[in-house]
Structure 1
Amino acid sequence: MDTTATIIFIIAAFSLGIIVIMQRNNMPASMRRGVALAAIAFIAFAFFLIVYSLATMGS
């Protein structure tokens, strides 16, 4: 497993979530839901990658 790519994805996913939260009032209403759902999906996958890497750390 390439840890560099995983770490970059995790940082990018959480950064996207922070940006969506901070800029939610400046986004058009038609775009807000799609971006929020994408951010939730990326953050959920980032959490999965964190848990997976912790579970397979010893092997």
Structure 2
Amino acid sequence: MDNENLVIYIIVVLCLGAVLVMGREKVPPRLKRGMALTAVILIALAFVFIIYSLVA
């Protein structure tokens, strides 16, 4: 796995999570659940990639 792309992905996903947490009051209520679910999935995938890169 290309480590440079992995590091970029992890940084972008963690920034996305931070932006969603900080701006949660400004998001329309009907979009909150979908955006939160998307962020959780992306952050979980980033941690899976981190574990995979450490093991492989």
- Which interval holds the TM-score relative to the shorter structure? over 0.9
Q: Displacement of 1:4 after TM fit?
A: 1.0
Point out which structure has higher relative CO (alpha carbons under 8 A, 6+ apart): 2
Aligned residues: 56
Task: Give the structure with higher Rg (CA).
Answer: 1
Long gaps (5+) in structure 2? none
Long gaps (5+) in structure 1? none
RMSD of aligned C-alpha atoms?
0.6
TM-score relative to the length of structure 1: 0.90
Q: Percent identity?
A: 41
More helix by share: 2
TM-score relative to the length of structure 2: 0.95
